[in-house]
Amino acid sequence: MELLFKVITPYSKQHVRTVRAAIEALAALLKSKSNSRQAVNRGYLGGLLRLYQDWHHNDVSNSYIYIRRGLLLCLKHITNIQLGRETFRGSRGMEILFTSVQDCLSCKNLDPLVTTVTQILRKCYPKEPLPLVTVRSSYSFPLPGDVKTEHPCMGSEDDNESDSEEDMEKDLNKDDVESKEEDYDLETDVNKLRSRPGLDRPEEELGQYEAMCPELSHNFQELDSESEEEKKSEDRAENLPSTSSHFIPSGNSMKDPSCRWRTQSGTEAGSDPGEKDFKVPLQSSTEKEKCSRSLISGKTEIVEAVHNANSCEEDPAKSHTFSPCPLPKEAAWYKKIFNPECEASIDPNSGVRSETSEIMTKLLEEHQGNIPFHSPHFYIARAKCTKSIPAYRDLAFPDFWGHQPPPYGKPMLERQYGVQRDKVLDDVRRLIQPGDLIGRTVFDLDEPSHSSPGAPDCLTFFSKFESGNLRKAIRVREFEYDLIMNADVNTNQHHQWFYFEVHGMKLAVPYRFNIINCEKLNSQFNYGMQLVLYSVKEALQGRPCWLRAGHDISYYKNHYRCSAAAGGGARGKCYYTLTFSIKFPHEDDVCYLAYHYPYTYSAMMSHLDVLEQSRNPKKVYWRQQVLCQTLGGNPCPLLTITAMPESRKSDDLEQFYSRPYVFLMARVHPGESNASWVMKGTLEFLVSSDPIADLLRKCFIFKIVPMLNPDGVINGNHRCSLSGDDLNRQWLTPSSQLHPTIYHTKGLLYYLRSIGRAPLVFCDYHGHSQKKNVFLYGCSIKETLWQAGCMVDTAVITEDVGYRVGPVCSFLRLLACMCTYISI
């Protein structure tokens, strides 16, 4: 190795082949950690840096790129060991390589040099903990019994060991290669398959779930006498504000000649359904306005009805007035309406609450009422009954005001080449050129007194509202902010979902935001996905939409680690940065930024109220019950939807009682808000007047749990409930105290099976951070055969643990086909 080092000379046009061969041989030797350690001890690292500087400075025509890259590879291998990284930093290697790479960024032919330099700089960047006192969540919840709430930080790497060379290369090449992440919701170990499990509770406990199936004992006496009010409501479902262009797949596309649509009498309906494309009837704008305004006209009665229906008893000592977030015209109004600290200090006997109420009333009067299936009055009433750990006193404006679909489709963002590399180099600039850094905390959920927006041109942040989870905001530069998301309640992990408010921006200025404590290995943000933005000014001007926004978006591993002190003993956990830039549409606007379109618990509850009020009770059987109370004291709703029987004749009632069950549920993971939007569309479709929906109701009884993890959604969690557990991992042995929604959902399924009514279809709605399109997980083939008691030799069956990717309408096609089969 010493001989090779002597052969490698400073820049010269002579003996170039010899120098290149010597560098390649040296790079191969330095892959050995012992050789690297020996090279550092002999002072070779400083010599390599000087050689690289010399060749870089003199090779102005870029004729010897292979020699320069060979020297970089030697440095890269040496810095795989801790001693090498420390010596590299001590020799000003960070500054030397950072300065040299600036000359290469404009020339694409020099990308191999830029990539290698970037890898070395990232690897040698000093690791440090997040700028937090503790990474545990700002919120904690006392669990029943003596259950420990400590959930150690995941990861087992030592703080003093960096990522391996292979890991670093994979991470840096994410510009072009989509890495595969372990899917925690897909069991791939076939050795864990099991035959039908036994009951996990005493059989006598199943009797309590009989009350959750009132449809099996209902006598439908109301069908004997039709009141005038019922006659007037006959066509109410047709006045539902429908979403546009619900396309329902035709039977022709199922390629099954036996599948034919039937009329109510059971005869074939003329032509094959393939000749028809069913669509939800669209309303005129006048009809929509009439319907929506009718919902709002009786606002006092609606609010009272919601309160009574929910039996929400408010403790006067804990009562709170919600403040939506309109545009403040003065700083004083802003503090009253936006800042919870200021609001908490308001004297209840002062006139401030009445002023806030007047603002609320005025906003409600100005609400145009043209947002389908949304009523601000319902939302306010439900939000007052929602229980959260921080006892939220504010409403996020988008959730209160509502929002419409964007007026146009937007393609995936075309990512600029090298954007991740540029962001990484900008992070390195912070380390070696800190002169322009501000480093002032402007928002802190843990220490509100430390929040100091300070300069008048500084952004102001807020997140103490339902599903909000911004924990800390640090102003890095004039228009750049580092953001830290709150961990799931009672944990120190699961940072990915974000939802927060920002205001005080300038017009046409690109603000850069860096969310620095993400945890996923990769993200669709690297492949064209954008975050969503909601502008209050736009909403008040008649355009209430969540829009895809952001440019220069990148997702990459950063230099932050979970230290032993902060992580409760565990250490080495890696964090990732989601960085994006935004030009806000208005000056001094109030905007909301989120990972995906938010869908809160209060939004779901108010949506159910709207659906119940507007359905056609003569056609749609609807029952909303409480499956159980969550740990946080919020009701978890259980819905039953089917068609009313034609009459009380024995044949009609028998057909009603014998309909097979379809069991649907969603949102076990709070950060997967897209699951709730799909569930929302499912519910609206099932109660609509669409002929396919009518057919589905007549053939099935739908049992639906629209939100399995209300507490997690309310408190801004990404994956867990208040117990700190991933509820989707508790199905085998759920606790009635810690996991009540899972326990009682499983109990209801046990009960249905015990009475011979096991669901024909079970579907759980999820979202995914990396997979594209709409896809299905199927059950294990072997386990299904075992539990069904089939006499099949499963030894010759091979399990397929892959995804089932298909079009959006696959599930509806399946059910429609089943309807036809059952009706035959």
> 462-499: per-residue pLDDT in tens?
999 999 999 999 999 999 999 999 999 999 989 999 99
Is the pLDDT at 130 greater than 90? The verdict is yes
How would residue 145 be classed by pLDDT, with cut points 50, 70 and 90? confident
How would residue 67 be classed by pLDDT, with cut points 50, 70 and 90? very high
Residue range 542-571, pLDDT digits in tens: 899 999 999 999 999 999 998 655 555 445
pLDDT at 179: 44
Nearest Cα to Cα of residue 79 among 689, 71, 16:
71
Q: Which residue has the higher pLDDT, 117 or 328?
A: 117
CB 393 within 8 A of CB 320: yes
Is the pLDDT at 790 greater than 80? The verdict is no
Weakest mean pLDDT among 529-533, 539-543, 699-703, 794-798: 794-798
| 644-652: average pLDDT | 92
Sheet with 546-549, strands from edge to edge, namely 460-462, 499-503, 590-594, 531-535, 546-549
3-state SS, one letter per residue, for 738-751:
CCHHHHHHHHHHHH
| 271-277: average pLDDT | 32
| 84-98: average pLDDT | 96
Coil, helix or strand for 444? strand
Q: Please provide the average confidence, as pLDDT, over all residues in the chain.
A: 79
- CA–CA separation, 769 vs 520, rounded Å? 8
Which residues in 692-743 belong to E strands, given as ranges? Answer: 701-705
| 392-414: average pLDDT | 90
pLDDT at 409: 83
Q: Which residue has the higher pLDDT, 778 or 483?
A: 483
State the burial class of residue 756 (Cβ atoms within 10 Å of its Cβ: 0-12, 13-18, 19+).
exposed
pLDDT at 255: 36
How would residue 775 be classed by pLDDT, with cut points 50, 70 and 90? confident
- CA–CA separation, 122 vs 162, rounded Å? 10
- CA–CA separation, 333 vs 196, rounded Å? 61
How would residue 812 be classed by pLDDT, with cut points 50, 70 and 90? low
Weakest mean pLDDT among 126-130, 325-329, 757-761: 325-329
pLDDT at 768: 85
pLDDT at 417: 87
Is the pLDDT at 627 greater than 60? The verdict is yes
Q: What is the pTM of this model?
A: 0.82
pLDDT at 157: 35
Weakest mean pLDDT among 273-287, 391-405, 525-539, 763-777: 273-287
pLDDT at 270: 34
How would residue 365 be classed by pLDDT, with cut points 50, 70 and 90? confident
How would residue 415 be classed by pLDDT, with cut points 50, 70 and 90? confident
| 450-458: average pLDDT | 74
CA dihedral 397, 398, 399, 400 (to 10 degrees): 50
626 φ, ψ (degrees, to nearest 5): -100, 115
How would residue 331 be classed by pLDDT, with cut points 50, 70 and 90? very low
Q: Which residue has the higher pLDDT, 578 or 778?
A: 578
Residue 361 φ/ψ region, left for φ over 0, alpha for ψ in the -120 to 50 degree band, beta for the rest: alpha
Two tokens at 655? 């057909």
Q: How far is CA 413 from the centre of its chain?
A: 19
pLDDT at 79: 96
Is the pLDDT at 311 greater than 60? The verdict is no
Weakest mean pLDDT among 238-242, 372-376, 652-656: 238-242
Residue range 740-754, pLDDT digits in tens: 999 999 999 999 999
How would residue 783 be classed by pLDDT, with cut points 50, 70 and 90? confident
Residues contacting 698, CB < 8 A, separation 6+: 264, 642, 643, 659, 819
pLDDT at 571: 52
How would residue 248 be classed by pLDDT, with cut points 50, 70 and 90? very low
Domains and CATH numbers, the chain: 2-124 (1.25.10.10), 203-232+616-772 (3.40.630.10), 288-396 (no CATH)
Residue range 493-516, pLDDT digits in tens: 899 999 999 999 999 999 999 999
Two tokens at 696? 């589905």
Helix (H) or strand (E) holding 341: helix 340-344
| 292-321: average pLDDT | 41
Is the pLDDT at 161 greater than 90? The verdict is no
Q: DSSP class of residue 350?
A: S
- CA–CA separation, 581 vs 593, rounded Å? 12
pLDDT at 406: 84
Is the pLDDT at 230 greater than 60? The verdict is no
pLDDT at 401: 93
Helix (H) or strand (E) holding 513: strand 510-518
Is the pLDDT at 343 greater than 50? The verdict is no
- CA–CA separation, 463 vs 445, rounded Å? 8
Residue range 798-810, pLDDT digits in tens: 766 555 555 445 5
